[in-house]
Amino acid sequence: MLDKNNLLALMKTVAKADVSAPTSYSFNGENFSYEALNETLRRELNEYAGDYASYRENKNMIFSIIEETLDEILPKKVMKQYEAFAEVKTFAQGDKPIFRRKLTSNKRAKQFITRVGLAGRYEVFKLGKNEESFEVQTSAIGGAAQIGFEEFLDGRVDFAEVTRIVMEGMDDLIYEEIGAALKSSINQLPPVNRVAADGFDEEAFDMLLTIASAYGEPTIYCTYEFAVKLVPTEAWRYTEAMKTELWNTGRLATYKGRKVIILDQGFVDETNTEKVIDPGYCWIIPAGANTKPVKIAFEGNTLVAERENNWDWSREIQVYKKVGVVCMMTNDICVYKDTSLAGHMKDWHLVNKNIKNTVEVSNIADAKPDATTTEGK
């Protein structure tokens, strides 16, 4: 059984690992696959909390390593995922989360701030002419995992899974806030920096590229749904390399020499019915130290606590973390809105198509081989 320090190191290693990577991971001089490493963590945690008596004796130690893991890994995870357009900082409890801007360019970009409240309330304000810093207001995010008393008795408690789900849930919520902050700040940009059109208007889009290019080499950020429309006129399109790229990926990795970055699309819940990021918006952001529009602040330590439900002796493992998200718009950033996609968070544009779900089979064993061949036609 690992001691606390080694168990903490193991949990951090698992939390940092890329689940989809084919390579193995090193821990204590040995190489493991992610599955083997995660299984080792689960087994070691069960040594400390595999039954109710063990859990009662060791719960505070388990909570502390979950707290330390989230404090170290979550900001790094967020930074790695969103570093192209977001600045991430951590602050001690009670310290004001202050972001400062260096004035390094002769072309000073006028700044606008949109602060996102994690409860869904947005407050818009503008920086003063000579101000070079601003404070990010943080709010609490968190969640709770309910563990039944019988699970303790049966040895079925999986704290490795609890930690993974909590971290993924917090990361997903932050990503939702980033999307909401970007979208809510559009009207703070100069009118010439934003275009709304039904579909892809190449001339209008190129005008935005010209504006952003005046401040640095621009990068284009959009969802895959938007990117499949981001194709120049036929005079550009029909090179062999472009045809191959479109066939293989459905989109172009660059648009007239500018890199296209795909924003990960996700869903609000497991029903796959509501998207996280509005697919109708495309962001054109020039390179430079002052152009990352999103600021993310983590304040204080993660707190993990237990709440007992008296009626059935089940436990809620509650996690609490303070986070703030701010969108700092500057007049070197441009936005294109495809009105045919914008706001379509719950549909897939199949309203006028004769398309059905492929198959519904109540008894697989009795299904005939050709039962599904004509359903979607």
Amino acid 151: pLDDT: 63
How crowded is residue 272: how many other Cβ atoms within 10 Å of its Cβ? 9
C-alpha dihedral sign at 134, 276, 229, 261:
positive
Pairing of strands 98-100, 111-116: unpaired
- Write the CB contacts of 66 (distance below 8 Å, at least 6 apart in sequence): 11, 159, 162, 163, 166, 302, 304, 319
Amino acid 304: pLDDT: 86
Amino acid 367: pLDDT: 39
Per-residue 3-state assignment (H helix, E strand, C coil) for 182-199: HHHCHHHCCHHHEEEECC
CB 312 within 8 A of CB 304: no
Q: Which run of H or E residues covers position 169?
A: helix 159-184
Using the predicted structure, report yes or no on whether residue 119 has a pLDDT greater than 60.
Answer: no
pLDDT tier for residue 357 given thresholds of 50, 70 and 90? very low
pLDDT tier for residue 355 given thresholds of 50, 70 and 90? very low
**Among the listed ranges 70-84, 101-115, 242-256, 301-315, which one has the minimum average pLDDT value?**
101-115
Amino acid 361: pLDDT: 37
**Alpha carbon distance 226, 220 (integer Å):** 11
Using the predicted structure, report yes or no on whether residue 263 has a pLDDT greater than 80.
Answer: yes
**Alpha carbon distance 8, 12 (integer Å):** 6
pLDDT tens, residue by residue, 6-39: 889 888 888 887 776 655 566 566 677 778 877 8
Using the predicted structure, report yes or no on whether residue 165 has a pLDDT greater than 70.
Answer: yes
C-alpha dihedral sign at 338, 340, 343, 344:
negative
DSSP track, 63-125: HHHHHHHHHHHHHHHHHHHHTTTEEEEEE-TTS--EEE-----SSPPPEEEEEE-TTS-EEEE
**Among the listed ranges 144-158, 248-262, 275-289, 361-375, which one has the minimum average pLDDT value?**
361-375
pLDDT tens, residue by residue, 73-84: 888 888 887 877
Indicate the average pLDDT of the chain. Answer: 75
- Residue 366 φ then ψ, to 5°: -90, -5
pLDDT tens, residue by residue, 311-342: 667 777 788 888 888 887 888 889 999 998 88
Comparing C-alpha atoms, which of 355, 207, 194 is closest to residue 280? Answer: 194
